[in-house]
Each structure stands twice: as C-alpha cells, then as structure tokens.
C-alpha cells in the first residue's frame, strides 16, 4: 500500500506533547502576589507588548485574508493558488499543521470548500492542497509531466536513512544522465516496472497463497482449545505480530525471521516514529528511535549478505524457483538485481529493504484490523461475509480460492469502505520542468508540491453525490459496508466506477500503489482464515463502539485504533 506521513509518538521525550501551557495569575490575597516577577505581568510594559503582539497577529491575518480572497476571486487566467490566511509571518501554518493535521484539513475545506487549490506554508516548507475533483483529475491524467520524485527522495532520506551519496537516484529527473555503469539515473522507473511485473498475475497469486499458508500454520500452532475461550486483550497488537511475520516470510523468505526474531517488534517501533523522522528531530531528542532504525538496518544488511552467499538473485526468470528461504520471492530477487546494477552499496540496499517492509506492512496491517473489527462488531455483516467466503473455497482442498474474492460484492465493498474511512495517505505530484496549468484558472509554479489528501476526498459529499448518487445513501462519516454496491434487476455488484477522484487510498493515475492487489488479498484472506479456524467475538461490544480510527496519525497512512480491543477466540471443531 502507499505510504505517506503520520504522527507516531510515545510518552517519552521522543514524542511531541499536545498540550497548551497556561499562565495562572494568583489573586491579590495570595502571599505569592508580592513576587516582583508576577507584578510585572500587570505592568505597563507587559500590556504594551501584549497589545503590540495582538495588533501584529490581527493585522497579519487581515492582510493575508485579503490577499487570499483577492487571489481566489480574481478573474485572471493562470493565477497562482491563494495562500491560506495565517497569523504569523514566516511561521504561517506550522503550529496548526503540527497540532492536528486532521483538524487543519477538515477545518480548511469546511470553511473554504472544494473550489480552488490552497497554498499552505510552514516555515520554508510548503505545499498546495488540491481539493477540487476537476483539478485532481487533471493531475492524475498528467503522469508524463508530473512526478513524485521529490517526496520519494525526502522519504528515503528522512525515514529510511539512505546514504546521501545515493539520494540522487531518487531525486534525479533527467533521463539523459547515467550512472558510471551506464544505467539511466531514474531508478524509480525500474522500481515501478519490477513491481508491476512481480506483484501481478501468477507471481501475485503465488505470494498471496504463500502468505495464507504461512499465516494458517502460525494460527494452527496457537494454544487455543475447542472447549474454551482464549481472550486476547489487545487484538490489534496480536494481529500485528501474526500478520507482519507472515507477510515478511511470504515476501522475503524465512531466514530473515530466524536471524532477526525481533524484526516485527522493532519494525512497529520504527513505524511509530515516522512523524519525528519527518520533522528531522536530532538524535539527542529521540535517541531510541535512531537506535531502533540502526538495529533494523544492521540486521537487514546481515540478512542480505547471507542471502547473497546462499542464493542467486539472478534466478528470477521463468526457470527460477518462485520462492526460497533466503531471498524469498522473485520480486525480491529482481529488486536485488537492479539495485546492484545501479551500484548501490549494502547500506543503501538495506534502506531500500526497510522501505519495502514499510510499504508492505505499515498500511496493510491496520487495514486488516479494521476489516476484521467491523465484521466482529456487526454479527449480521459477519454472517454475510462468511457466506461469500464459503463460496470462495476450493472444492478439492477447502482452501480459499483467492481470485474468487474479486467476484464477491460484499467482501469487496466492505474492504473499500474500510479503506475509505481509515486510510489517510497523500498523493504528491511536482512538475520539475515547467509551471503546471491546473485547468484554465490556476498555474502551479515549477517545483511546487501539489498534494491530494485521501482523507479529504473521502468526505467530499458533493463529489460523491455527483459521481454516484447512491453512494451517499448514508452519511460519509459513517461506516456503511454496502456503499460501493450497485444494484441491477438481478443482483448487487461491487463497483468503483466514477470514484477515481473520491476513493484514493492507493493514490491514483498511472502511479497508483503497485502493491494494492497483494494488500487486498491479505486483508480479505486474513478474515477468511480467522473465521475458518476460530469462533470469534468481541469481549465488550458496547466498549468496542467507542473505538475509532485515531486521527492523530493523519496523514501518515492507515490509522490505528484509539483504544485496545479485547477479543475472544475458540477453535472450531
């Protein structure tokens, strides 16, 4: 799945506290009132300074508001995107963005609507929010002109610690530039090509079936009896351990888990810090975050050395095995091939593999949780899903027939609705060669980042109602598993038709997340396997109603739950 930016913080000094400081002035009867430091609060200089500050804030906001409205209402073709009003010159919207990105985005479209692009600034950092469906369509259809390379280079450096001397492979946009070995410098194009080949067709099916077999083997070994319930107090963390281990083994082989048993725990610690990595916080502020990432990279590098000694990454053609214990799939071997052709060293390759771990787990695993959780909350929905899953069993073995998922309307509609509500990824595009015409009205300057937020497109009622009137039969802030069903005279069918600019958990256009098909298979098959092996129920249904996606992590990907969820399991006979 696509991965983009979220606030992950713990209670240590590695996390940014979200509380306001408050100055309390004691009353005159208090013995502290005689303190000269407190007396100065009421002094004339303090009042003058406060008045000057207030005047500065009000005048800055008024002037920026005037500029915003004037630009927005201008009839001049090709005008720039208006800059959102702000109070502090230079800092602009930094405090609002850092305080609550979810509130900032929601409040912005609530006040200003979905008409124009909106420029946002936070110190030297800036981007343009793209909220109008027509503008989104223009961007998605301009894949030959636009790129996401600047954001890719940022993520590889800040999140995955790619050595600086290799960042030009991700940032470069001149196809005439080549590496010393003669390879064109746009390595991202090779990444996409390899992903499209090995994350589709027979390779996708083999990896999906292997994931399901590995997960089943893990679940069968659990000490869960048929004559009694076993309670799992934190179902989300339990799923993280089971699903992440199975994805890693299915994709990258079993040896990496044997060599590095702590990889799952360390990965989720790392994932919890991506917002702090994005901020560029120094080591002294988040020491354990740096240590966790270094431990991940060191162990990944050790696994990569072992895999290169014991296996052959060139065997990713028709004659090569689909999977081996060292490299895992042909997909990993093919990646290893082009990374080495480009001349990346062991550290840069380790960063690439950490990026792959993030892309294959960070968004998928929370989505697995929400898909299962919603089926546990609604027994009627669970029974309907079980009926469709029963139809997906292979007659000869009783195993799930994964391609059949795509023929089942409610399985797919529930999946799409979960992603609509819980995935808050961003789609970024930049024109590195020239200014970009966003329709006849607006022009975005060269090298300016345009950002589409999935959490905004998911709630644009006017856009959904225009594209698919039946899709707004229930409010967009409610979970409705039938939202993506279209009925004819005989049956209901799943459809995303007309929703390209509305439903964007995987981005859009030709640069959609290439791993989306594997993610879908993982999400649906995990529910199917749980319902096959166990009777499952929530411990406290009423308390579960209070569990919501945690919007503190907007817009870094799929949102985790706000609270722990307790589940009971009993093995089926």
Q: Would you give per-residue pLDDT tens digits along the chain (573 residues)?
A: 444 434 343 333 344 333 333 333 334 444 433 444 444 445 788 888 889 889 999 999 999 999 999 999 999 999 999 999 999 998 999 999 989 999 999 999 999 999 999 999 998 889 999 999 999 999 999 988 899 989 999 999 999 999 999 998 888 655 445 554 455 556 777 788 899 999 999 999 999 999 999 999 999 999 999 999 999 999 999 999 999 999 999 999 999 999 999 999 999 999 999 999 999 999 999 999 999 999 999 999 999 999 999 999 999 999 999 999 999 999 999 999 999 998 999 999 999 999 999 999 999 999 999 999 999 999 999 999 999 999 999 999 999 999 999 999 999 999 999 999 999 999 999 998 899 999 899 999 999 999 999 999 999 999 999 999 999 999 999 999 999 999 887 889 999 999 999 999 999 988 899 999 999 999 999 999 999 999 999 999 999 999 999 999 999 999 999 999 999 999 998
Q: Angle of helix 409-422 relative to helix 516-533, nearest 10 degrees?
A: 110
- In angstroms, the CA 477 to CA 336 distance is 43
Model pLDDT, residue 27: 44
Contact residues for 490 (Cβ-Cβ < 8 A; gap 6+): none
Query: The domain at 164-571 falls in which architecture?
Result: Orthogonal Bundle (1.10)
Longest dimension (CA), the chain: 88
Q: Both tokens of residue 573?
A: 């006979």
CB 198 within 8 A of CB 384: no
Q: Which run of H or E residues covers position 230?
A: strand 230-232
Is the backbone peptide bond immediately before 555 cis, with ω within 30 degrees of 0?
Answer: yes
What pLDDT, on a 0 to 100 scale, did the predictor assign at position 276?
94
The whole-number pLDDT of residue 169 equals 87
Give the other-Cβ count within 10 Å of 51's Cβ: 10
Torsion, Cα of 553, 554, 557, 562 (10° steps): 40
State the pLDDT at residue 472. Answer: 96
CA–CA distance, 568 with 12 (Å, rounded to integer): 32
Q: Do the Cβ atoms of 109 and 476 come closer than 8 Å?
A: no
Is the torsion defined by CA of 73, 75, 76, 81 positive or negative?
positive
Say if CB 199 and CB 360 are below 8 A apart: no
What pairing do the DSSP bridges indicate for beta strands 492-494 and 323-324? unpaired
φ, ψ (nearest 5 deg) of residue 367? -65, -40
Tell the residue number behind the tokens 């098959």, with chain if given: 525
Strand 449-453 and strand 125-129: the pairing is: parallel
Distance CA 358, CA 229 (A): 34
User: How many other CB atoms are found less than 10 A from the CB of residue 454?
Assistant: 27
CA distances (Å), 108 to each of 96, 331, 428, 560, in order?
Answer: 11, 42, 18, 24
Three-state secondary structure readout of 280-324: CCCCCCCHHHHHHHHHHHHHHHHHHHHHHHHCCCCCCCCCCCCEE
Name every residue whose Cβ is closer than 8 Å to that of residue 146 and which is 6 or more positions away in sequence. 139, 429, 430, 431, 436, 450
**Structure token digits, residue 316:** 């990713």
Q: Is 513 known to sit in a ligand binding site?
A: yes
User: How many Å apart are CA 54 and CA 48, to the nearest integer?
Assistant: 10
pLDDT for residue 45: 85
309 contacts 255 by C-beta, under 8 angstroms: no
Rounded CA gap, 352 and 341, in Å? 14
List the domain boundaries for the chain. Answer: 164-571
Q: How far apart are CA 482 and CA 459, in angstroms?
A: 16
């Amino acid at each position: 799945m696509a991965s983009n930016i979220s606030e992950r913080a713990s209670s240590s000094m590695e996390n940014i506290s979200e509380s306001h400081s408050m100055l309390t002035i004691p009353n005159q009867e208090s013995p502290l009132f005689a303190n000269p430091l407190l007396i100065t609060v009421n002094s004339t200089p303090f009042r003058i300074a406060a008045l000057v500050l207030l005047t500065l804030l009000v005048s800055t906001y008024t002037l920026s508001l005037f500029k915003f409205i004037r630009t927005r209402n201008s009839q001049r073709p090709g005008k720039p995107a208006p800059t959102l009003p702000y109070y502090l010159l230079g800092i602009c919207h930094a405090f609002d963005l850092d305080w609550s990105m979810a509130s900032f985005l929601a409040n912005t479209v609530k006040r200003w609507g979905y008409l124009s692009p909106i420029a946002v600034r936070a110190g030297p950092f800036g981007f343009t929010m793209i909220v109008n469906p027509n503008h989104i369509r223009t961007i998605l259809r301009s894949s030959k002109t636009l790129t996401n390379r600047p954001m890719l280079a940022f993520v590889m450096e800040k999140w995955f610690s790619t050595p600086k001397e290799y960042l030009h492979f991700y940032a470069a946009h001149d196809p005439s530039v080549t590496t010393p070995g003669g390879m064109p410098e746009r390595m991202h194009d090779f990444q996409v090509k390899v992903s499209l080949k090995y994350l589709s067709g027979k390779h996708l099916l083999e990896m999906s079936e292997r994931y399901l077999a590995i997960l089943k083997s893990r679940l069968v070994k659990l000490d869960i009896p048929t004559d009694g319930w076993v309670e799992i107090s934190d179902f989300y963390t339990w799923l993280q351990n089971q699903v992440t281990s199975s994805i890693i083994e299915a994709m990258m082989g079993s040896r990496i888990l044997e060599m590095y048993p702590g990889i799952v725990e360390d990965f989720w610690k790392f994932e919890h810090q991506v917002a702090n990595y994005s901020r560029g916080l120094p080591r002294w502020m988040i020491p354990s975050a740096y240590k966790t990432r270094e431990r991940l990279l060191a162990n990944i590098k050790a696994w990569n050395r072992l895999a290169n000694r014991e296996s052959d990454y060139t065997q990713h053609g028709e004659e090569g095995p689909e999977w081996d214990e060292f490299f895992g799939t042909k997909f990993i071997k093919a990646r290893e091939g082009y990374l080495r052709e480009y001349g990346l060293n062991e550290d840069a390759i380790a960063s690439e593999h950490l990026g792959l771990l993030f892309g294959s787990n960070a968004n998928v695993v929370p989505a697995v949780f929400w898909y299962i959780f919603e089926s546990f909350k609604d027994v009627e929905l669970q029974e309907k899903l079980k009926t469709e899953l029963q139809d997906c069993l292979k007659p000869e073995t009783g195993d799930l027939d994964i391609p059949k998922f795509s023929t089942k309307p409610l399985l797919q509609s529930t999946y799409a609705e979960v992603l609509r509500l819980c995935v808050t990824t961003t789609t970024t595009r930049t024109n590195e060669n020239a200014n970009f015409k966003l329709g006849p009205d607006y022009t975005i300057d060269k090298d300016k980042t345009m950002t589409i937020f999935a959490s905004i497109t998911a709630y644009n009622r006017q856009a959904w109602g225009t594209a698919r009137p039946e899709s707004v039969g229930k409010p967009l802030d409610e979970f409705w598993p039938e939202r993506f069903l279209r009925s004819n005279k005989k049956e209901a069918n799943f459809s995303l038709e007309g929703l390209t600019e509305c439903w964007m958990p995987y981005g859009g256009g030709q640069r959609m997340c290439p791993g989306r098909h594997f993610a879908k298979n993982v999400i649906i098959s995990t529910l199917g396997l749980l319902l096959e092996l166990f009777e499952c129920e929530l411990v406290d249904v009423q308390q579960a109603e209070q569990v919501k996606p945690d919007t503190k992590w907007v817009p870094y990907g799929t949102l985790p739950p706000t609270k722990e969820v307790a589940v009971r399991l009993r093995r089926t006979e």
